[in-house]
Chain A
Amino acid sequence: MLEIILKRIGMFILVVIASTALVFFMLHSLPGESAEVMAKYIFLGNVELTPSNEAIDIIKEKYDLEKPLFSQYVTWVWNAIHGNMGTSYQTNSPVTEEILIRLPATITLAFVSILLSLLIGIPAGIIAAVKQNSFTDYFCSTISVLGISIPSFWLAILLIYVFSYTLGLTPTMGYGDFKSLILPAVSLGTPASAVIARLMRSSMLEVMRQDYIRTAIGKGLSYRMVILRHALKNTFIPVITIIGLEFGHLLGGTVIIETIFAWPGIGRLLITSITARDIPVIQGCIVFITITYLVINFITDISYSYLDPRIGRSKH
Chain B
Amino acid sequence: MKKINFTGVFVILILAVLISCVAFSGCTESPDAPDTSENNVEKGNSDKNTQQELIIGHPWNLKSVDPGLSGSNLNNFRVSEGLISISPDYKLLPTIADSWEYVENSTWRFYLNKNVEFHDGSKVTANDVKTALDRSMKLNPELQGRLNIKELKVVDDSTVDIITNTVDASLPGKMAYGAAGIYKNNEGPEGTISTPIGTGPFKFVSYDKATDTLKLAKNENYRDGAPKLDSVVIIFGIGEPNTREMAVEKGEIDFTTEPTLGSTKRLESDKNLNVIIHPLCQGYKLKFGDVSKAPYDDVRVRKAIAYAIDRQKIVDNILLGRAIVSNGIGITPGIEWRNNNLTGYAYDVQKAKGLLEEAGWKDTDGDGIVDKEGQKFKITLYTWPQRPALPPLAQATQSMLKDIGIDSEVRIMEWDAISDRKNEWGMITVAGGDACMMIPDPSYYIEGNFYSEKNDYNYRNPNVDALIMKGRTIFDKEERYDAYREVQRIVCDEDCAQVHIAYHYHMVVTDKNVKNYIPNPAHHDYSINKDMYIE
Residue B17 at the A interface, CB < 8 A?
A: yes
Q: Decide if A52 is an interface residue (CB 8 Å cutoff).
A: yes
Partner of B141, one of A39, A118, A130, A261: A39
Contact assessment for B243 and A172 in the assembled complex, using a CB-CB cutoff below 8 Å: yes
Taking the closest CB of chain A, its distance from the CB of B300, in whole angstroms, is 28
Q: Which residues of A contact B417 (CB under 8 A)?
A: 31-32
When distances are taken between beta carbons in the complex, the residues of chain B under 8 Å from A3 are none
- Among B17, B35, B252, B524, the most chain A Cβ lie within 10 Å of the Cβ of B17
In contact, B28 and A105 (Cβ under 8 angstroms): yes
Contacting pair B416 A37 (CB below 8 A): yes
Chain A nearest CB from B165 CB (Å) reads 10
Are B142 and A272 in contact (CB-based, < 8 A)? no
| CB closest residue in chain B, given A264 | B210
Q: Are B237 and A268 in contact (CB under 8 A)?
A: yes
A164 to B192 CA separation, bound complex (whole angstroms): 39
Q: Which residues between 428 and 454 of chain B lie within 8 Å of chain A, taking CB atoms?
A: 431-435, 438, 448, 454
How far, in angstroms, from A49 to B145 measured CA to CA in the complex?
Answer: 14
A222 cross-chain contacts in B, Cβ below 8 A: 2
Is the CB–CB distance between A177 and B37 below 8 Å? yes
CB–CB B63/A91 < 8 A: yes
Q: In the complex where A104-B28, A173-B247, A259-B239 touch, is A48 in contact with B433 (Cβ < 8 A)? A: yes
Query: Does B511 count as interface, using CB distance less than 8 angstroms?
Result: no
Chain A CB within 10 Å, residue with most, of B37, B64, B72, B143: B37
Query: Cβ of A30: which chain B residues have Cβ within 8 Å of it?
Result: 416
Asked if B192 and A92 sit within 8 Å, CB to CB, the answer is yes
Interface residues in B, total, Cβ within 8 A: 81
Whether A48 contacts B431 in the complex (CB less than 8 A), given A168-B250, A171-B36, comes out as yes
User: Is B433's CB under 8 angstroms from A46's CB?
Assistant: yes
Closest partner residue, chain A, to B386 (CB atom)? A47
Are A157 and B17 in contact, with the CB atoms below 8 A?
no
Of B36, B179, B386, most A-chain CB atoms within 10 Å: B36
Contact (Cβ within 8 A) A174 B239: no
Interface residues of A in 165-182 (CB under 8 A from B): 165, 168, 170-181
CB-defined contacts of A108 to chain B, threshold 8 Å: 20-21, 24-25, 28
B146 interface residue per 8 A CB criterion:
yes
Interface centre among A164, A179, A268 (most CB of B within 10 A): A164
Binds A, one of B6-14, B395-403, B469-477: B6-14
Q: What is the chain A residue whose CB lies nearest that of B39?
A: A171
Q: Are A126 and B6 in contact (CB under 8 A)?
A: yes
Q: Mark A180-220, 1 if CB is under 8 A from B, else 0.
A: 11000000000000000000000000000000000000000
Per-residue interface assignment for chain A, residues 19 to 48, with 1 indicating a CB less than 8 Å from any chain B CB and 0 otherwise: 000000000001110001101001111111
In the assembly, what is the distance between CA of A154 and CA of B404, in Å? Answer: 40
CB of A72 to closest CB in B, whole Å: 19
Contact A164 B142 (CB under 8 A): no
Give the chain A neighbours of B38 by CB distance below 8 A. Answer: 177
Nearest A residue to B141, CB-CB: A58
Interface membership of B40, Cβ < 8 A: yes
Contacting residues, chain A, for B128 (C-beta < 8 A): none
Contact of A119 among B10, B70, B209 (CB under 8 A): B10
How long is the Cα–Cα vector from A44 to B444 in the complex, in angstroms? 14
Contacting residue for B247 out of A49, A172, A176, CB 8 A: A172
Q: B240 within 8 Å of A by Cβ?
A: yes
When distances are taken between beta carbons in the complex, the residues of chain B under 8 Å from A118 are 13
Any A CB within 8 A of the CB of B419: yes
Contact A176 B35 (CB under 8 A): yes
Q: How far is the CB of B181 from chain A (nearest CB, A)?
A: 14
Contacts of B142 in A (CB 8 A): 39, 42-44, 51-52, 55
Instruction: Tell whether, in the assembled complex, residue B416 and residue A62 are in contact, meaning their CB atoms are under 8 Å apart.
Output: no
A261, B240: Cα distance in complex, Å: 8
Residue in B73, B192, B247 whose Cβ sees the most chain A Cβ within 10 Å: B247
- Which of chain A's residues have a CB closer than 8 A to the CB of B141? 39, 43, 54-55, 58-59, 62
Tell me whether B294 is interfacial, beta carbon within 8 Å.
no
Question: Which stretch (A74-82, A109-117, A288-296, A299-307) binds chain B?
Answer: A109-117
Q: Is the CB of B416 within 8 A of A115?
A: no
Tell me the bound Cα distance from A102 to B191 in angstroms: 23
Taking Cβ atoms with an 8 Å cutoff, the residues of A that contact B are: 30-32, 36-37, 39, 42-55, 58-59, 62, 90-93, 101-102, 104-105, 107-108, 111-112, 115-116, 118-119, 122-123, 126-127, 130, 157, 160-161, 164-165, 168, 170-181, 222-224, 227, 259-262, 264, 268, 272, 275
9 pairs, CB–CB < 8 Å, chain A vs chain B = A53-B454, A93-B192, A108-B25, A108-B28, A115-B13, A130-B4, A174-B37, A176-B30, A222-B2
Please name 13 further chain A to chain B contacts, defined as beta carbons within 8 Å, in addition to the given A47-B416, A112-B17, sorted by A numbering.
Answer: A44-B142, A45-B73, A48-B415, A49-B438, A91-B63, A101-B209, A104-B210, A108-B20, A112-B20, A123-B9, A178-B22, A181-B25, A262-B212
Q: Return the 5 tightest CB-CB contacts between A and B, nearest first.
A: A32-B416, A48-B433, A43-B142, A54-B145, A58-B141
